[in-house]
Structure 1
Amino acid sequence: MKFGSNEAKRDAIVLAALIVAVWALAIWSDFSETMHHFLAAHEGWQADEFLVSLAILGAGATIYAYRRMHELRRVVRVRDAAEGRAVFAAYSDVVTGLFNRRYIETYLPELKAADETLGTIFAIDLDGFKKVNDLVGHEGGDKLLTEVAHRLVNYFPDGVCARLGGDEFVVVAPRIPEDEVLAVGEGLIGAIRKPVTIDEIEVEVGASVGIAEIPSEGGDCKAAIHDADLAMYTAKRDGENLVRRVDPAMLAAFRERLDLERAFRAALAQDLIRPHYQPLIRLETGDIRGFEALARWTMADGTAIPPSVFIPLAEENGLITELSERLLRRACLDAQGWPKEVFLTFNLSPLQFSDPLLGLRIVQILGETGMPPSRLEIEMTESAIVKDFEGAVKTIRQLQGSGIRVALDDFGTGFSSLSQLALIPFDKIKIDRSFTSSCRDNAKQSSMVRSIIGLGHGIGVATLAEGIENAAQFELLRAMGCEYGQGFLFARPMPPEEVAGYLGLASVERLPLSA
């Protein structure tokens, strides 16, 4: 690398001009003879010896300057090498040796301009990597990532391969014809899925692949990578070892989801997601046992967004705890206006039971609102137990230790074992609506419901059937011995201002006429 070459040329010209000027001046003034006569006339001054010393010193200084210049060149070489290593570290992945995210984001436009054949982007996320990583350890996981990197390079010898982080990779490959690109993606999955032996253990991972094209004219490389990521996440959502190519419908759905996320965040901040209440009825008498708080969101234009849409949205964006706390606080304040014997039931997301502070958060809200713990019942789904049995048991005991009841929601859908259930001190079992809807017409489902009710009676726990929608279901469940029911037959979820009117009904008015 050349440093200051123009300045060096200029300095050399100035020095040469100065030498010529001094030489011409010496000739014009007959400097040598004049100096000789001067030194001879003043021999006592020892000036000639002084000039000889200066000449020797000048020669020494020249040698010193040369050595310093040589040392400077060595320092520059070392610095250049260090800068090269720093650049390599900044733009390469330590584990696999591939380029990293920064390199792709910084230099992809330049690469595309230099090589116009580049045009197809593959976004890759490994399926099952976490299980393998747990099996062989982090060092083994790194070996697997390195092997996948080698396979990517071999599969795309003319492409640019990079690891974005974790188990995500991206490949910028030469443009592939539209009718071949999906087959190339499937072939890539096949190459990645081949078994790998790590520390004498044979392991295998799959891959979800998303594909996008960089437009030929004025293409936005960052946007193309984003589109490939979107297609990859779509493939991962749909299953494992799938290939998805971005298309207009996918982009439209993504933009719609972004708009919904923004609207959800705004609604959460403005406290526009409110609890509605559905009664829990004693089937024998029609008495109200309590109300379940159900989240409802109505947008400014009157559009009702169902919980099946915005609850997963809250979970995916890490907002489920904030949403639940806001709803529980509001529900506790509303319940303060109900009769003291009517309790509040509140359903939590399975994700929240992994929070070791969950019990403290709930107790704090009860203290802030003045709600007695004995009037609150927390529902947890069977899937939450299956996911983290020990954590679920610990949370349940914390809640019950504070005086809060706990109900098992959607019983029969989570595939937990009876041995697990026997260890959990539930206060109530809720029979999932899928059993309720078919128990009258399906002998097997009817037997299942009867068994669940019998299980509840056997362990001394009340049972409640969800989703009762007609009198026939009501009569059958009551005959089976189910204590409580919930569903449209009794009432749809209602806003807080309608609860008082429902509480004012006579017990028999809440039951179907046939009862």
Structure 2
Amino acid sequence: MGYALRRGGVVGSFVPLANRWNRCGKTRSETGRPPPGSSRKTAPKRGVSFPLAVRRTRFGAIPPRPSGPSPGRLRNSRCRGRLAMTRSPTYAIVIENLPGIAAAYSEGVAGRVLGEVWRRFEEVLGTQSWTSVPEPWGVRVTYSGTNRSGLDLRELEAAIQAATRELIFNGSSIIVVSLTIRSGENIGSMAPPLHVDTTQFRLDMAAASMAYDALNVGELNFARQPVVGREEGGFALYHECLCRLSGADGSVFMPAVYLGALERLRLTRAFDWSVARSVITMLRREPEAVLGCNISGLSVANDVWWCSVLDELRRSPDIASRLVVEVTETALPQDTGSALEFIRALQATGCRIALDDFGGGLSTIAFARAAKADIVKVDGSLVRQCLAGSEGDRLLHHVVSLAGDFAADVVVEGIESAADLDIAQDAGARWFQGYYFRSLSVPATPPRPSPFPPRALEGFGVMQ
């Protein structure tokens, strides 16, 4: 069944489609023939076909096919901001969580979300050389400028950021959208989820909304934790910046409250982009600092999202050489090839790459070997297993040895006592990280207005 978004009535209201032809003329299957029983009538002027995510027929998905260069995997040179072309490129901005929104809330809410995302692209790109058209799965944007010799993709990146970060309010529901760029070949493979746990989806969306609300207020706060050597009073390899979000009353949201929700909803891209930009700003302010920031495996992709970050790092090699990008492996990259291209692009600027949670997350030996990271961080859970006895000592020794084959520097995390440090040293590690060396200080922030009702924060484990 498909749905239509009525332009003549309330924006975003859905009505069922019964073999209706869309605004492009006729609805055809991949075989080129219209579905059986459909009439050759044009769509009513008031109705525009907007099936949710993809049109579902027994002939399969019927995706539109964007033309022009695919933004899915940009070569390193393309992220410099200029892309040669011979015709107007068209990009598909897909709302990945739109099917989940429809299942957890309603199809009407999903329609209003679709209309709001389109409005935001119109607002950001409307005065530039771009045109945007709403589609069943999101928004199609086309470069319509007169200068066809080059294209500044940072304009598109800015529009994506603006459409993603701002919360969408729909009555008592607060929605955050997950946007990605797909090529024409990839759109056809997109399908609604087979099952959505609506209760979990709503809880995750509430946590994600609070995280993005705190993100939009201003500069992020970070607690720093050093990665130290085995020598006494030792040299710090770098300081990891651990993000701390503050609520409206000054309370602090711990990462466990929102990070899992962001990954389950695939909302990590804009969040990780903001963290990376904030750490780069800190490196500009502190010429002697060497800092690290975390990005989810879901955010590791060589596409338009990271154009401005890569461009800035190329122009500032002194900053790039003092930045360590930690790829957390609590979630796997959606496209391994694109992830490896992004890692190579970062390393080409002078950044160092660290693979986090090795041996405890969803890390794979194949990806660790292909990534050619500069640093591998062994998960602290292996240290806990050593304290529990059994075969923990041998396992930690083997994992540290294996990590040493993949990277020049190996860090053991989760060092909270002298006993933990002895275990990690015996395993052959050179670098260590944990509360044993320095406790984290939670930054204090003044209270501020919040769009959430007073009881919205109940049950979300915040620190007062």
Scaled by the length of structure 1, the TM-score of the pair is 0.47
Amino acid at match of 1:474: L
How many percent of aligned residue pairs carry the same amino acid? Answer: 22
- Answering whether residue 51 of structure 2 is matched by residue 100 of structure 1, we say no
Question: Of 297, 301, 305, which residue of structure 2 is paired with 1:350?
Answer: 297
Q: Distance in 2 between matches of 1:281 and 1:441?
A: 25
| Residue 303 of structure 1, CA deviation | 1.0
| Residue 104 of structure 1, CA deviation | 12
| Residue 436 of structure 1, CA deviation | 2.6
Amino acid at match of 1:139: E
- Answering whether residue 278 of structure 2 is matched by residue 327 of structure 1, we say yes
| Residue 291 of structure 1, CA deviation | 0.4
| Residue 353 of structure 1, CA deviation | 1.8
Secondary structure of the structure 2 residue equivalent to 1:348: strand
Within-5 A mapping of 1:287-298: 287=234, 288-298=236-246
Q: Distance in 1 between matches of 2:297 and 2:228?
A: 26
Question: Of 471, 480, 483, which residue of structure 1 is paired with 2:418?
Answer: 471
Q: Distance in 2 between matches of 1:454 and 1:273?
A: 36
The superposition leaves residues 436-482 of structure 1 with CA deviations (integer Å, 9 ceiling, x where unpaired) of: 32232143443332112111334562211112222222111111111
| Residue 138 of structure 1, CA deviation | 7.2
Q: Distance in 1 between matches of 2:312 and 2:110?
A: 46
Q: Distance in 1 between matches of 2:317 and 2:285?
A: 11
| Residue 292 of structure 1, CA deviation | 0.4
- Answering whether residue 225 of structure 2 is matched by residue 278 of structure 1, we say yes
| Residue 347 of structure 1, CA deviation | 1.5
Q: Distance in 2 between matches of 1:313 and 1:139?
A: 35
| Residue 483 of structure 1, CA deviation | 1.0
Of structures 1 and 2, the one with the larger relative CO (CA 8 A, separation 6+) is 2
Within-5 A mapping of 1:28-427: 100-102=4-6, 139=30, 164-167=51-54, 254=202, 261=209, 264-287=211-234, 288-311=236-259, 312-313=261-262, 316=267, 319-338=270-289, 343-356=290-303, 361-366=308-313, 371-382=318-329, 387-427=334-374
Higher radius of gyration, 1 or 2: 1
Q: Distance in 1 between matches of 2:395 and 2:302?
A: 33
| Residue 372 of structure 1, CA deviation | 3.6
| Residue 322 of structure 1, CA deviation | 4.3
- Note closer, same or farther for the CA distance 1:331–1:276 as it changes in structure 2 (3 Å cut): farther
* Structure 1 unmatched runs, 5+: 1-95, 112-120, 122-136, 151-161, 170-191, 199-206, 214-220, 234-238, 498-515
Q: Distance in 2 between matches of 1:211 and 1:399?
A: 38
Q: 456-465 or 275-284: which moved more? A: 456-465
- Note closer, same or farther for the CA distance 1:370–1:300 as it changes in structure 2 (3 Å cut): farther
Aligned partners of 1:333 and 1:371 also within 8 Å? no
Aligned partners of 2:300 and 2:339 also within 8 Å? yes
Runs of 4+ more than 6 Å apart: 103-106, 140-143, 223-227, 367-370
| Residue 404 of structure 1, CA deviation | 1.6
Secondary structure of the structure 2 residue equivalent to 1:438: helix
- Note closer, same or farther for the CA distance 1:437–1:362 as it changes in structure 2 (3 Å cut): farther
Aligned partners of 2:329 and 2:355 also within 8 Å? yes
Q: Distance in 1 between matches of 2:268 and 2:371?
A: 30
Q: Who is 1:82 aligned against?
A: none
Name whichever structure is richer in helix by fraction.
Answer: 1
Q: Give the aligned length.
A: 305
Q: Who is 1:29 aligned against?
A: none
Q: Distance in 1 between matches of 2:306 and 2:53?
A: 33
| Residue 293 of structure 1, CA deviation | 1.0
Secondary structure of the structure 2 residue equivalent to 1:277: strand
Q: Distance in 2 between matches of 1:277 and 1:299?
A: 20
The superposition leaves residues 61-80 of structure 1 with CA deviations (integer Å, 9 ceiling, x where unpaired) of: xxxxxxxxxxxxxxxxxxxx
| Residue 400 of structure 1, CA deviation | 2.0
What RMSD in Å do the two structures reach over aligned CA positions? Answer: 5.1
Q: Distance in 1 between matches of 2:306 and 2:240?
A: 19
The superposition leaves residues 320-377 of structure 1 with CA deviations (integer Å, 9 ceiling, x where unpaired) of: 2541243223331354254xxxx22222232332133577544544478784432222
- Note closer, same or farther for the CA distance 1:358–1:436 as it changes in structure 2 (3 Å cut): farther
* Structure 2 unmatched runs, 5+: 17-27, 39-48, 61-98, 113-169, 177-191, 445-464
Q: Distance in 1 between matches of 2:7 and 2:320?
A: 56
- Note closer, same or farther for the CA distance 1:258–1:496 as it changes in structure 2 (3 Å cut): closer
Q: Distance in 2 between matches of 1:210 and 1:337?
A: 50
The superposition leaves residues 483-509 of structure 1 with CA deviations (integer Å, 9 ceiling, x where unpaired) of: 111111111334799xxxxxxxxxxxx
Aligned partners of 1:277 and 1:495 also within 8 Å? no
The superposition leaves residues 191-216 of structure 1 with CA deviations (integer Å, 9 ceiling, x where unpaired) of: x9xxx898xxxxxxxx9995999xxx
The superposition leaves residues 34-86 of structure 1 with CA deviations (integer Å, 9 ceiling, x where unpaired) of: xxxxxxxxxxxxxxxxxxxxxxxxxxxxxxxxxxxxxxxxxxxxxxxxxxxxx
